[in-house]
Structure 1
Amino acid sequence: MTMGVAQLESDLTRLGAVEQRDLVRARKVSPVELLDAHLAAIARLNPVLNAIVTLCTEEARKAARQAEDAVMRGGDLGILHGLPVVIKDITETAGIRTTYGSPLYADHVPDHDAEVVARLKRAGAIILGKSNTPEFAAGASTVNAVFGATRNPWNPALSPAGSSGGSAAAVASGMVPLAQGTDFGCSVRIPAAFCGIVGLRTTPGLIPNDPMALPWDPGQVHGPLARKAEDAALMLDAMVGLDPLWPISVAPTWRSALDEVRGANDIAGLRIAYVSDIAGIGVDPEVERVCRAAVHRLAADGARVDEIAFSAAEGREAYMTLRADWMVGQQFERLHLLDKMGKNLAGNVRDGLEVGSRDMAAAQQVRAGLLRKFRQLFGDYDFLITPAAPVEPFPVEQGFPDSIGGVKLSNYVDWIAPAYLVTLMSLVGCSVPAGLSRSGLPVGLQIIGPRFSEPRVLGLARHVQQVLPIGWPREDVRR
């Protein structure tokens, strides 16, 4: 190593994943140096943020040395070769503790990798550890009885949201360049919004969910969290691909998402619909101000932006019904442990046990009707843009907001409706930072597109980041 640890950390961890990868390939930085830089960042930041709950230092060092040997031999390198990555703690990792954020699995070590982890490894990623999540990812704030709460890098007194809050905080703070997350209701997008990074909900089936329960389910998907849209595209390319043995697996319609994102340099003529509140729950005025300013900038840059009257609010009850049934399916093999689960998870499962076939049929009818509305919208527009979250980050102890713009919410899930209605329709959704609020906190813009529109969505997200950069969390805050 030719520079001090502090300088190495500062110089390397501030670079994007694509830049880090290119330095490794050019032999200007070794995978071992890259790992050391991120380990130094973790040592400095994680005690405050509690984003990474299991750190695999020795295993990562071994993998980094092997990655360095491969570079020096001049062999074929994976597209993520040498990049440190953390995996959400509900996703199985062979030989690495996976707790699902639950005391019931506090010492659980799987024998096999989830398929998405195996793909990241084949792409050359260095699995550095596991990121925090609420118990079985049931919740939009990241806290559990095993590891406690994760904190927001922009202000550690605030929440990073959830359930991929550990992954989002680790990326936003510079502890890793990339992280894996899962998204069922909002779990990649709202943590990305709260932490000022890019988070992508992918088309169901693009990334196989093996070994997750409910293999025919289109609700929960894997997705990348990254500081830049290009970095999210790079990670996406490593995760996607047809799996003939996964029932809803589909092949991507592009050869390289990264190439397509890099080629999306002109937004002139794009047809964009802007809706400040698709869920009928309201939006905080400061959030709406930042998002409206961002879409005005897109219009100034040549896009055709229309503010339209569009509501998907009728899908809220349908989603809650389907979500309740999903909770039972996910926890079916553990129903005998219901009394030992945390209050939030157990409550969700009990709600699901009350759902009947008539309820499910009614929910699917509403879903089908709503699909027709979205089909018409995407016949007229390339993208729908909304605020990613209707509120700014809230105190970490709060768990969830109880009101929006002074209006009381009816339940703890209502506030994520702008995100979960995208899930209900199996659409692509991406949160990209649109600017900072007057309190200095990031505000996320949600870019929504049809199935298989990931590269186009990320291309627009890249433009937003180029014209509306938000910078990094202040060093004094991150310390």
Structure 2
Amino acid sequence: MPLDLPFQTAKQLAAAVRKKKIGCLELLDLYLKRVETYNPRLNAVIATDIDAARKRARAADTALKANKKLGPLHGVPMTIKESFDVEGYATTWGDPAFKDKIAEQNSLVADRMIDAGVILFGKTNVPLNLADWQSYNDVYGSTNNPWDLARTPGGSSGGSGAALAAGLTGIEAGSDIGASIRNPAHYCGVFGHKPTYGVVSYKGHTRGNVSVGDITVVGPLARGAGDLEIAMDIMAGPDEIDGRGWKLALPRSKKERLRDFKVAVLLSDPNAEVDHTVQDEIQRLVDFLAKKKVKVSDKARPTIDTAELNDVYVRLLRAATSTRLSEAAYQEAQHDAATLPADDMSYFAQMQRGNSLSHRTWLQLNEKRHRMRLAWDAFFQDYDIMLCPVSVTAAFPHDQEGLRHKRTIVVNNNKVPVVDQIFWAGYAGVTFMPATAAPIGLSPDGLPIGVQIIGPQYGDYSTIAFARLLEQEYRSFEPPPGYH
């Protein structure tokens, strides 16, 4: 049975507009009404410019009537993660110090999506400095998961995931350095794609800076895998300066059936034990693939020490975000790194080492990273994709008390540090590879569970293609109850 209009994919919404089954203004007003009705319980959409959006929608209707050439997402209402610059909106990253910082021009991703025809009407919530798997801050408050309001929608693109799942928007754009696209997709039951590092311009997603940090990327979230491909077609490519010297040519997937793929699967890892509710859903998927005569191996692995990978990732991650630290916090990190035992591999120890990393040590870690990158590339000569968890559990209850690295979640009936699951973000991210998150089932508590589909560097369309086949043959987006 086709989904109700608000829950259809952006591709389906654009087709309805092109076929004149619904007008652009009418479609926008449908989503605005849903935001008015459902957003108070979610707090996913935290800023809107309705007058400007309606003006754009009327212009889009006029263009349709005039038979003008339309973009692939003509008339599709869109919200965007708060951290992207959009002219006339504040860009705070959840920090009250920036609540009056109004963007004077659009980020490149926003411009490209608008040029493709979207009707951008609002922004969605984030955690402070985009640094949590929850989405709350002192500027906009807390965002709830539409599947269970007592739980997190994920982060840092948590408002994006919640708005999509609840049918408050047509498509979204997020960012990801620590699973910030993949994690909300998993927690909210939608699709998300973390692109290969560098293929989508970061311009306008730096809160006043002009350089791009290590590891971090921007990319799409959607209710369908096909939307991810459309959005990557739109977003990807160099900015105007880099475009003087290079053009992007991501290879298209030529595989048309699931059994065309050679698949490896990893259900858990000693660095971040995965709850059996998540492992069981991935195993069910693997069993389905086997019945479809897909070549699946639960033994194939890149020749990488995953403990070393996790150490390299956490230190490079914290180094990449260390510019946000105050001088006092930086000095404290230096002191901790110098005094903690060398064999202390806790997240806190790795974090402080990363926060105070010397450039010499960064270069040494980068060498290790690139050796792992080559090991992954060798692995992908034999296998097309790696399936693994996005994180260690389904969405966990809100917990905003104390320091993040001291909070815990329950995994297989044991309390473990919530930060342990950062491993699954870095498994693909630290070595620049693309990863698509796709919904595959529900936990016994009725919460969404997704799978992470990792591919070779620049194999973005391959991981998305696999997600699209899963969507067609295994499980597609399903709305949370109570939002029809």
Scaled by the length of structure 1, what TM-score is found? Answer: 0.88
**Aligned match of 2:398:** 396
> Is 1:427 aligned to 2:433, yes or no?
yes
For 1:475, the aligned partner's letter is P
What secondary structure does 1:225 align onto? strand
Paired residue for 1:253, among 249, 252, 255?
249
- 3-state SS of 1:368 partner: helix
Tell me the distance in 2 between the aligned counterparts of 1:371 and 1:276.
21
1:420, distance to aligned residue in structure 2 (A): 2.0
The reply on whether 1:225 has 2:221 as its aligned counterpart is yes
Which residue of 2 is the match for residue 380 of structure 1? 382
CA distance in 2, matches of 1:26, 1:394: 42
Deviation at residue 14 of structure 1 after TM alignment: 2.3
Cα distance, 1:466 vs structure 2:
2.2
State whether structure 2 residue 94 is matched by structure 1 residue 112: no
Closer, same or farther: CA 279–202 of 1 in aligned 2, 3 Å: farther
Q: Is the 8 A contact 1:96 1:110 kept in 2?
A: yes
Which is further off, 75-84 or 182-191? 75-84
- Equivalent in the alignment of 1:177: 170
CA–CA distance in structure 2, aligned partners of residues 428 and 157 of structure 1: 31
Aligned equivalent of 2:310, options 308, 313, 316: 316
Query: Residue 315 of structure 2 contacts residue 355 of structure 2 at CA under 8 Å; is this kept in 1?
Result: no
Give the drift of 1:335: 6.2
What is the SS of the residue equivalent to 1:380?
coil
Which SS does the other structure have where 2:260 is aligned?
A: coil
Distance, in Å, in 1 between the alignment partners of 2:4 and 2:203 is 37
Q: Mark the CA change 1:124 to 1:445 in structure 2 (over 3 Å): closer, same or farther.
A: same
2:300 corresponds to 1:304: no
Q: 1:15 to 1:412 in 2, by over 3 A?
A: closer
Aligned match of 2:132: 139
Displacement of 1:38 in angstroms is 0.6
1:187-198 to 2 correspondence within 5 Å? 187-198=180-191
Does residue 469 of structure 1 match 2:475? yes
| CA deviations over 1:150-181 (Å, ceiling 9, x no partner) | 11111111111100000010011110120110
Match of 1:89 in 2: 82
Identify the match of residue 442 of structure 2 among 436, 448, 458.
436
Corresponding residue of 2:356: 354
Deviation at 1:17, TM superposition (A): 0.8
| Kept after mapping to 1: 8 A contact 2:434/2:454 | yes
Counting only pairs closer than 5 Å after superposition, residues 256-335 of structure 1 correspond to structure 2 as 265-278=256-269, 280-308=271-299, 310=301, 312-329=306-323, 331=324
**Aligned counterpart for 1:23 among listed residues 16, 40, 53:** 16
Mapped to 1, the partners of 2:245 and 2:146 lie a distance apart of 35
Relative to structure 1, the CA distance from residue 427 to residue 471 in structure 2 (aligned partners, 3 Å threshold; closer, same or farther) is: closer
| 1:46-85 correspondence to structure 2 within 5 Å | 46-85=39-78
Give the distance between the partners of 1:336 and 1:47, measured in 2 at CA: 39
One-letter identity of the residue aligned with 2:173: Q
Give the aligned residue type for 1:430: T
1:207-249 CA distance string (max 9 Å, x none): 1111334635451111110011011112221111232514999
Structure 1 gap ranges (5+) = 1-9, 340-346
- CA offsets 1:350-382 (integer angstroms, 9 cap, x no match): 775522234323322331332233122112100
CA RMSD of aligned residues (A): 2.7
For 2:182 and 2:434, the matched residues in 1 are separated by 11
Kindly provide the CA deviation profile for residues 258-286 of structure 1, in whole angstroms up to 9, marking residues without a partner as x.
xx6xx854122311000112562111011
SS of corresponding position for 1:413 = helix
Work out which of the residue numbers 222, 237, 243 in structure 1 matches 2:239: 243
Q: Is the 8 A contact 1:216 1:247 kept in 2?
A: no
Q: Judge conservation of contact 1:99–1:105 (CA < 8 Å) in 2.
A: yes
Letter in 2 for 1:118: D
**1:207 equivalent among 200, 211, 217:** 200
The answer to whether 1:447 aligns with 2:453 is yes
Aligned residue for 2:345?
none
- Preserved contact between residue 30 and residue 68 of structure 1 (Cα < 8 Å): yes
Query: What's the CA shift string for 1:420-475, capped at 9, x where partnerless?
Result: 22110100001101111111111110000012212221111112122332653443
Give 1:231's aligned amino acid.
Answer: D
Distance 1:246 1:182 in 2: 20
Alignment deviations for residues 80-132 of structure 1 (CA, whole Å, 9 cap, x no partner): 11111111111111112222111111122110111111111111111111110
- TM normalised by structure 2 equals 0.87
Given that residues 165 and 480 in structure 2 are in contact (C-alpha distance below 8 angstroms), is that contact kept between their aligned partners in structure 1?
Answer: no
After superposition, what is the alpha-carbon deviation per residue over 1:283-335, rounded to whole angstroms, capped at 9, x for unaligned? 10111000111122122223100001645231111112112221124x38x86
CA distance in 2, matches of 1:470, 1:157: 25
**CA distance, structure 1, for counterparts of residue 244 and residue 351 of structure 2:** 25
After superposition, the Cα gap between the structure-2 partners of 1:353 and 1:314, relative to the gap in structure 1 and judged at 3 Å, is closer
> Are 2:466 and 1:460 equivalent residues in the alignment?
yes
Deviation track 1:50-96 (CA, whole Å, cap 9, x = no partner) reads 10100121111111001111111111111111111111111111112
Paired residues of 1:52 and 1:166 also in contact (CA < 8 A): yes
Conserved? CA contact 1:315–1:421, under 8 Å? yes
Q: Distance in 1 between matches of 2:217 and 2:465?
A: 21
Count of aligned residue pairs for this structure pair: 454
Question: 1:407, 1:251 → 2: CA distance?
Answer: 49
Q: How many Å separate the matches in 2 of 1:376 and 1:387?
A: 22
Shift of 1:190: 0.8
Q: Structure 1 stretch 162-171 or stretch 414-423: which is displaced more?
A: 414-423
Are the aligned partners of 2:92 and 2:98 in contact in 1 as well (CA < 8 Å)?
yes
Q: Give 5+ residue unaligned stretches, structure 2.
A: 332-348
Counterpart of 1:342?
none
Q: Judge conservation of contact 2:45–2:124 (CA < 8 Å) in 1.
A: yes
Q: What does residue 339 of structure 2 align with?
A: none
* SS of equivalent residue, structure 2 residue 126: coil
CA distance in 2, matches of 1:249, 1:285: 49
Q: Match of 2:241, as an amino acid?
A: L
8 Å Cα contact 1:432/1:446 also seen in 2:
yes
